[in-house]
Amino acid sequence: MTEHNRLEPAAPWIEIVATEADWDAAEPALLTSMLSQLVLIRTFEEYVLELAKEGLVHGPAHSSIGQEAGAVGSVLPLTSADTVNGSHRGHHQFLAKVLAHVEPKGIDPVKEFSADVRAVLLKSLAEICGLDRGFSHGRGGSMHLQWKEAGAIGTNAIVGGGVPLAAGSAWAHRQAGTDAVAVTYFGDGAANIGSTLETFNLASAWRLPLCFFIENNRYAVSTNVEEATGEPRLSARGPGFGIASWKVDGMDPLAVHLAMREALAHMRDGRGPTVIEADVYRYFHQNGPFPGSAFGYRTKEEERSWRDRDPIRQLTGHLVRRGILGEAEIDALTGRAGALMADIGGVLLEPLPEGKAGQRRIRPDEWPDPAFADVGVRGDLSEFAGARTADRESFAGEIAEQKFIDAVAAVMGRRMETDETVVVMGEDVHRLGGGTNGATRGLKQAYPDRVLGTPISENAFTGLGGGVALDGRFKPVVEFMYADFMWVAADQLFNQIGKARHMFGGDGEVPFVLRSKVAMGTGYGSQHSMDPAGIFATAPGWRIVAPTTPFDYVGLMNSALRCKDPVVVLEHVDLYASTGEGPVDDLDYCIPVGKAAVRRAGSQVTVVSYLAMTNYVLEAVESLDGVDAEVIDLRWLDRASIDWDTIGESIRKTNNVVIAEQGAVGTSYGGWLADEIQRRFFDWLDQPVQRVTGGEASPSISKVLERAAIARTEEVAAKLTEITRY
C-alpha cells in the first residue's frame, strides 16, 4: 500500500488571541495611547468623508473606518527608524505612523492635543484635498501619502505595487547595520498579486526584516475573499515561502499589538521576514460615504455584526472596566477630536461666495500654483556641481583600443571600489564569470555583500532596487538580462520608480540605475530583442543613456551613477565584442548630461542615431559616393537631456534630417523625436524628417526573417541615396 507521510511547513503559523488576562496586564499608557490614535484617525476619516460628500475631495476617498485597530496596534511597537508603506486605503496606516513619530511617548487622551498633532493632521488633510501645504504639495492626494522623516515611505494606488519597494527599505536597513524593520500593509486583493508573491520569495530567500501585514477586509471592491482564492486564510501564504506567520483578530488592537511584538522580535533577531494577517472590516464601500450593502454585495446583518465588534468600543470597554478612564473622559476625547478637525477645516475652507447656507469651498490661496504641474519630474542636476567632466577631445589620460565589454566591467569595478554605497543586483550577475556577458566580471569576489544574484522575479527585484533608491543610503544598479523583461517589471519601472519624485512633491531623490541589454540581431527572437528607448522616452521621470564606444560607456555610466534621477543605461549586444578607444587607467570622468557627439561632420544631411545603429550609419555613409552626411550620436535620449544645440546647429547647416534606428516602428524612439524636430526646426527643413526603422513585427528566430525585421547599413544607405538624389 502507498505510504503517506504528512509534511509540515518549516515556518510556524500561529493564531494569536488576546485574553482577558492580556487586557488586564496591558500598561495603561499603551491602552490610552491606542484610544487617542483610534479616535483621532476615526474622526479624521469621518471628516474626510464629509468633505467628499460635499465634493471638496477631488478623486477618491478610500476610508479605512473600521480597520483602524490593525494600523494602530501594529504601529505603536515601531520606532521612527522603522519604515512603513501601504495601499490606496492607507490613511489609517499613515496617520498612525506620523502620530507616533510626533508623539513617541503616546497621546494622552485627557489632555489637549499638541501643536505637532494638529500640524500633521492639517498637512494630511491638505494633501488629501490636493492642496499646496500638503506633504507632497497636493500631488499625492489620498492614495500617495509620504513623510519619510516619520518612516512613512509612501502609500500606493497600485494594488501590491508598494510591496517590493518595502523590501528595498528592509534590505537597506539591514545593509546599513541597523535593527530597523520595514512593514508593508496591503489587503486581501494584493495577497494574490504577482509582485506580492515574488517579494514573499525574495524576502524569504534573503532573510529580510520585512513584515507583510495583510489587512484582510474580505472585499476587493465587491469581490469577496472566498470568491478570489481557495484559501481565504491569507496568512497561509507565509509558510509556503518559509515565512513565520501570525493570524489575528484585527478588530482587537491589543491582539494586533501582541502579534506585532512577536513578529518584531523575530525580525530584529535576524530570523527573516514575517506575515501578519489581521481580519478587519471596512464599514464603507470601496470609495465614498456609503456602506457596501447600498451596492448589494454585503448584507446589513453582516455589516452590523462587524460593527458590534468595533475596535473603539472594545477598547473603551476595557478602559472603563479597569478604571483607567471614565465614560465622560472618553466622550470629552471624542469631542476634542471633532473640534480639532473643525478647526483644521477652518484653515483650508471658507464659505462658498453666494452659495447656500453651509456650502463651503477650498480657500483659493491653498491651491498649488498651476505652474508647478511639471516641476520635479526630474531633478535639477545640482548633484553634478563640482563633477569632473570630459569628452574624447578634452580627455588628457591615456587612451587605447579595448573591448566594449571590458569597459563595462572596469567602470563598475572602479565605482564599487570608490563608493561603498553602490550595489549590483540581477539574475546571474554573481556567477558565470560576470553574468551572461561578463559585464560584472570580478565584482562578486571583490564585493560579496554588494553583488546580489536574484531569483527570476523582475517585478520583485526591480521594486526592491527602487525601494533601496528611495531609501537613499545606497545606489542600486539593476540588470535586466534582456530589455523585453521591462514589461514584466513595468509597474515598478513606470508607475513606481519613474513617477516617485514628482508624485511625492518633486524634491525626493531616486538614484536608480537600470542596465538593459538590447539583443537585436542575436537570434533570440520576439521576446528577447526589443529596443526599449521609445518606451522609456515617453514615460515620465527617466533619463536614458546609450553608449556607443568604450570611452563613452565609462563617462556615461559615471554620470548615471552620480545622477539622482532613475537612469536606464542601454547596452547593445552588437557592441559588447566590438573594440574602440577607451581609457587605460582613468575611470573617474563624467560625460556631461545632455551632450551628444558628432561622429562625422557633413553638410548635406544630418543623420541622428544611437547605440549600435550609429556604427551602421557610419558604414553606410562611407559606402556611398557623393553623400556628405553629418552623423550625430545622441548618447542622451530622454526628453530632458536631448542636445538640441548640437542637433539644431547641424540642421541649420544641412536642412535635412534622417533618424536611424534598428527597432520596430511601433515602439520607435524616432517617432516622438521626429515630431519634436519638426516643431523646433521647421523653418530650416527642406523636407519632412525622414526615418529608418525596422518593420512592424518583432524580430523572429529565423536568421533571414530577423534580418528582414531590423534596420542596418543597407537600409540607411538606401534612405540616404533616396533623399540626396534630388
From CA 76, how far away is CA 37, in angstroms rounded?
A: 10
Provide the Cα torsion 17, 250, 306, 320; round to 10°. 70
Q: What is the mean pLDDT of residues 441-468?
A: 96
Query: What's 234's DSSP letter?
Result: G
The predicted-structure confidence for 266-288, as pLDDT tens digits, reads as follows 999 999 999 999 999 999 888 88
Q: Is 223 helix (H, G, I), strand (E, B) or coil?
A: strand
The predicted-structure confidence for 300-315, as pLDDT tens digits, reads as follows 999 899 999 999 999 9
Burial class, 1, CB count within 10 angstroms (exposed 0-12 / middle 13-18 / buried 19+):
exposed
Whether 520 has a pLDDT exceeding 90, the answer reads no
Task: Return the beta strands (E) in 283-405 as ranges.
Answer: 349-351, 360-362, 399-403
Most confident of 57-61, 400-404, 521-525: 400-404
Q: What is the mean pLDDT of residues 444-453?
A: 95
- Per residue in 691-720, is it b (16+ CB within 10 Å) or e — as a string? bbbbeeebbbeeeeebeebbbbbebbbebb
User: Could you count the other beta carbons within 10 Å of the beta carbon of residue 530?
Assistant: 24
Whether 392 has a pLDDT exceeding 80, the answer reads yes
Whether 460 has a pLDDT exceeding 90, the answer reads yes
Q: What is the mean pLDDT of residues 84-92?
A: 95
Percent of the chain with pLDDT over 70: 100
Whether 370 has a pLDDT exceeding 70, the answer reads yes
Burial class, 10, CB count within 10 angstroms (exposed 0-12 / middle 13-18 / buried 19+):
exposed
Q: What is the DSSP string of 439-475?
A: TTTTHHHH-TTTEEEPPS-HHHHHHHHHHHHHH-SSE
Whether 256 has a pLDDT exceeding 70, the answer reads yes
From CA 470, how far away is CA 475, in angstroms rounded?
A: 9
Q: Is 296 helix (H, G, I), strand (E, B) or coil?
A: coil
Angle at 619 between CA 615 and CA 621, to 5 degrees: 115
In this structure, which amino acid lies at residue 81? A
Query: What's 272's DSSP letter?
Result: -
What Cα–Cα distance (Å) separates residue 663 from each residue in 42, 526, 657? 54, 11, 18
From CA 14, how far away is CA 253, in angstroms rounded?
A: 17
Q: Report the chain's mean pLDDT, rounded to a whole number.
A: 95
From CA 416, how far away is CA 617, in angstroms rounded?
A: 35
What Cα–Cα distance (Å) separates residue 692 from each residue in 205, 608, 638, 668? 46, 10, 19, 10
Whether 648 has a pLDDT exceeding 70, the answer reads yes
pLDDT at res. 219: 87
Q: What is the mean pLDDT of residues 160-179?
A: 97
pLDDT at res. 521: 85
pLDDT at res. 726: 64
From CA 627, how far away is CA 603, in angstroms rounded?
A: 9
Whether 78 contacts 151, CB under 8 Å: yes
Q: Is 367 helix (H, G, I), strand (E, B) or coil?
A: coil
The helix (run of H) or strand (run of E) holding residue 501 is helix 498-503
Q: Nearest to residue 527, comparing CAs of 466, 577, 485?
A: 485
The predicted-structure confidence for 661-711, as pLDDT tens digits, reads as follows 999 999 999 999 999 999 999 999 999 999 999 999 988 899 999 999 999
User: Could you count the other beta carbons within 10 Å of the beta carbon of residue 358?
Assistant: 8
From CA 76, how far away is CA 257, in angstroms rounded?
A: 7
C-alpha cell at 12: 510556524
Supply the Cα-derived Rg of the chain in whole angstroms. Answer: 29
Q: Nearest to residue 657, comparing CAs of 715, 725, 726, 723?
A: 723
The predicted-structure confidence for 99-145, as pLDDT tens digits, reads as follows 999 999 999 999 999 999 999 999 999 999 999 999 999 999 999 99
pLDDT at res. 228: 85
The predicted-structure confidence for 543-558, as pLDDT tens digits, reads as follows 999 999 999 999 999 9
Q: What is the 3-state secondary structure (H, E, C) of 86-97?
A: ECCCCHHHHHHH
C-alpha cell at 6: 504528512
Percent of the chain with pLDDT over 90: 90
From CA 629, how far away is CA 604, in angstroms rounded?
A: 6
